[in-house]
Amino acid sequence: MNDSPPLGGNGPAAQVHTGHGTQNNYTFFSNGDADPRRLADSSQGKAPRAVAEDELKWLRHRFIHPVGYTTAYDVLEERHTVLVDGSPGSGRRATARVLLCSLPRKEGRFLELLPYREAEEEWLDPQQVGEADQLLLDLSGRDEQDWPHVEARLSGFRKVVRDRRAHLAVVLPHRVGRLLSPEYGALRVEISRPPRHRLEHDLIKRRLRLAGLDATVADPLPARLRQHLDQRPPLREVADLAHLLCEAGRSAGPGESFLHWCEAAIAAVTDCGPDVVDLLKRLRRAPHRALLLSAAMLHGARADTVHLAATRLLADVSHPENTTSLLERQGLGGRLERIRAGQGPDRLVRFDKLRFDEAVRDHFWDNHPDLHGPLRDWVGSALWLPGLTDADAERLVIRFAEQCCRTRRPEDLFHLVERWASRTDRGAAVRAAAHLLKYGVHDHRIGRDCRNRIYKWATDRNISKGLRRVLISVCFAVLPVRHPYAAMVRLHHLATHEGPGTEAREALVELALGDHRLHRWMLGRLARPGTQRNRGTDLALFLPLTDPARLLAVGGRAVPLVAEAEVVRSLVDGWRGVLRDVAWEAWRRPVYAWLGACVSAETRYAHLLLDVLVEACQESSEAQVRLYATARSWATGCSPGDASRGAVAEVVMQKISESQRSNRAAGNEEAPAP
């Protein structure tokens, strides 16, 4: 299951212990010239970090503590690392996330570490650990044979975690407990579900309360529901069942008891595949099957829209239309009844059983692989069906994405992303492509494939303009929610190949300046040899990252960025390249800003800005002359009577002179005074 608040649609619950959450509603058919950074942003303009915080709050509010939770919390708080173990379906990942977000904190942020190396990122990179961060490493998808390698890498990483007052929760691969060394065995905590359905009962009642329904109707649990829970389904399925109970309760007619809700919900989570097979045995003709699949993909849309979609589907699979006279054909209502669907007074099509539409979709994708291509192409053109609303389009995109993820066919998703993104004449298509890719990025089954494909696209300078806008959007608003460093790498490549535009650069700079950890990391990436794809682009990116207000801001930390040795090295290397290779007109104002900060900043660290500039030009007498001339130009532009600027310029000259004396003392060739 995808481990985030669900994106909408009728699919199963996304969070373990939770069930369905609030819907993220997308608006496909407006703002055709929208900022590309916002194409995939359905969070009312919130920063990725705020979205991540909202996800954690959403989960914590719905979470029920398993057996072992308190012990795991104590180990995490005291040892800064906990290894969460348990059988599949016990809620290990959700437990690890809630453990981290339950820690008392005034700073730090939640970060999900990749369980393997990707693209240019080092696996378990210590540079990604910030002060008081909460780090999740989900290894549940790794094999137990991988553990010795993981354990060796994890040891040094844990030291950095402790030194920086951070906390790390690791979800162990199943059955790896016997391979743990004594050191790691002491950090392992196994979680489990309590007996007699106590956890499941609490989960169901909480979901009923959150849905605004009377939770006491579940006291006690009916025998039919207890029998279902006796099978010990995974907690994600219990959460899904709880959501369906709420759905059945909201749509219940007068006099329907909680037992009726249970029957409907259990029927929905029980495999409906045989029912679909039985129905298809009676629906031999292609028009009926086309109507069935169209109703499943557009469940909740208007009847005439579903009918038109079915007609187009027949054409797309090269099946001739029914030659019977229009006057002789059965009415739409009768044909819908034949496929176990109907339409209410609102003319919206719905099946007569909860989740039957999902079972129909699953059946066609599982049993008709030759239809994958035609169905993909049909979805690609169905966004513009007459009468299709924004909500219908949203659900269609999500239902197609669900099938790509469930059947692990990311190439179908990528094909449609490229197709829609190329339609720059239709803003709705580009936005739909962004949301389709957003769904894939967040899915644990194909998320890695999506990140790798985004990297491949980002490094290709020949991608379409629309696809570039989609990638900027996903890398700015979606990927950073869980994988901010992966987003920065890909935005960096997009910026390198941007040509005359500035959208990727602006997105990268905004993302970096929004978090001091990303700011630090990006400065280091621009300074490290071997990572630059285009030196001119890197220097153009470097200058806006030198905002003195951001570098001098403490923000609850012990010292500002400019006082960190690692950042100073990056700044010196960056300024050295700027002063050597960039025209004076481009770096004059940034230098003015640094000099001005030395006058106005109420901090004892402002003088470090001058140290960086002087050290950056230490190896070039020409650069020293240019820096001092710029300082004098800035000082002479002050208002009469303002001596502070002149004093700063004199300090610059003194520091340059000291640098020259130091060079001479070291045996370097004498450089002329500025």
Out of 217-226, 456-465, 602-611, pick the least confident.
602-611
pLDDT higher than 50, residue 670: no
Q: Which of 590, 674, 586, 583 is nearest to 634 (CA)?
A: 590
Q: For residues 316 and 504, which has the higher predicted lDDT (pLDDT)?
A: 504
Q: Which of 352, 403, 357, 359 is nearest to 379 (CA)?
A: 403
Phi-psi region of 87 (alpha: psi -120 to 50; beta: other; left: phi over 0): beta
Asked, for residue 431, whether it belongs to a domain, the answer is no
Concatenate the DSSP letters of all residues of 197-265 into one string. THHHHHHHHHHHHHTTS-GGGGSS--HHHHHHHTT---HHHHHHHHHHHHHHHHTPPTT--HHHHHHHH
Out of 142-156, 605-619, 633-647, pick the least confident.
633-647
Q: Between β-strands 188-190 and 134-138, what pairing exists: parallel, antiparallel or unpaired?
A: unpaired
The string of pLDDT tens digits covering residues 317-368 is 865 555 554 444 567 888 898 998 998 888 899 998 888 999 999 999 999 9
Q: Which of 138, 168, 190 is the last residue of a domain?
A: 190
Asked, for residue 339, whether it belongs to a domain, the answer is no
Asked, for residue 105, whether it belongs to a domain, the answer is yes
b or e along 44-72 (b: 16 or more beta carbons within 10 Å of the residue's beta carbon)?
Answer: eeebbbebbbebbebbeebbbbbbbbeeb
When pLDDT is averaged across residues 131-160 and rounded to a whole number, the result is 89
Mean pLDDT of all residues belonging to the chain: 86
Share of the chain above pLDDT 70, in %: 88
Q: Between β-strands 341-343 and 349-351, what pairing exists: parallel, antiparallel or unpaired?
A: antiparallel
Q: How far apart are CA 292 and CA 361, in angstroms?
A: 9
Q: How far apart are CA 180 and CA 81, in angstroms?
A: 14
Q: Is residue 495 within 8 Å of residue 508, measured between CB atoms?
A: yes
Angle at 243 between CA 240 and CA 246, to 5 degrees: 155
b or e along 508-545 (b: 16 or more beta carbons within 10 Å of the residue's beta carbon)?
Answer: bbebbbbbbbbbbbbbbbbbeeeebeeeebbbbbbbbb
Spell out where 231-386 has E strands.
Answer: 341-343, 349-351
Concatenate the DSSP letters of all residues of 24-43 into one string. -----SS-TT--GGGTT--S
pLDDT higher than 90, residue 527: no
What domain range is 567 assigned to? 547-674
Asked, for residue 421, whether it belongs to a domain, the answer is no
Q: Which of 250, 247, 194, 241 is nearest to 222 (CA)?
A: 241
Q: Is the peptide bond before 374 cis (omega within 30 degrees of 0)?
A: no
CA 591 to chain centre: 36
- Only one residue has tokens 């004059």, namely 588
- The H-or-E segment that residue 476 falls in is helix 465-477
Asked, for residue 581, whether it belongs to a domain, the answer is yes
pLDDT band at 20 (very low <50, low <70, confident <90, very high): very low
Q: How far apart are CA 239 and CA 225, in angstroms?
A: 13
- What is residue 120's predicted lDDT score, i.e. its pLDDT? 82
When pLDDT is averaged across residues 137-156 and rounded to a whole number, the result is 87
pLDDT higher than 70, residue 13: no
- What is residue 403's predicted lDDT score, i.e. its pLDDT? 97
Cα torsion 511, 515, 518, 524 to 10°: value is 110
Residues 6+ apart with CB under 8 A from 342: 333, 336, 349, 350, 352
One-letter amino acid for residue 440 of the chain: G
Q: Which of 166, 190, 214 is the last residue of a domain?
A: 190
pLDDT higher than 70, residue 434: yes
Residues 6+ apart with CB under 8 A from 504: 468, 472, 491, 494, 495, 498
Q: Supply 299's token pair.
A: 């469940």
pLDDT higher than 90, residue 432: yes
Q: How far apart are CA 434 and CA 364, in angstroms?
A: 26
- What is residue 235's predicted lDDT score, i.e. its pLDDT? 87
pLDDT higher than 80, residue 672: no
- What is residue 323's predicted lDDT score, i.e. its pLDDT? 56
- What is residue 29's predicted lDDT score, i.e. its pLDDT? 42
pLDDT higher than 90, residue 488: yes
Q: Supply 189's token pair.
A: 């905590």
Asked, for residue 466, whether it belongs to a domain, the answer is no
- What is residue 236's predicted lDDT score, i.e. its pLDDT? 87
Q: Between β-strands 167-171 and 81-85, what pairing exists: parallel, antiparallel or unpaired?
A: parallel
Q: What is the CATH number of the domain that holds 161?
A: 3.40.50.300
- What is residue 117's predicted lDDT score, i.e. its pLDDT? 81
Q: For residues 122 and 218, which has the higher predicted lDDT (pLDDT)?
A: 218
What phi and psi, each to the nearest 5 degrees, are found at residue 350? -145, 145
Asked, for residue 123, whether it belongs to a domain, the answer is yes
- The H-or-E segment that residue 169 falls in is strand 167-171
Asked, for residue 269, whether it belongs to a domain, the answer is no
Could you give the number of structural domains in the chain? 2
For the beta sheet containing 167-171, the strands, ordered from the edge strand earlier in sequence to the opposite edge, are: 110-113, 134-138, 167-171, 81-85, 188-190
pLDDT band at 641 (very low <50, low <70, confident <90, very high): low
- What is residue 12's predicted lDDT score, i.e. its pLDDT? 33
Q: Is residue 91 within 8 Å of residue 16, measured between CB atoms?
A: yes
- Tell me how far apart the terminal alpha carbons of the chain are, to the nearest angstrom: 65
pLDDT higher than 80, residue 484: yes
What phi and psi, each to the nearest 5 degrees, are found at residue 298? -115, 30
Q: Which of 168, 190, 212 is the last residue of a domain?
A: 190
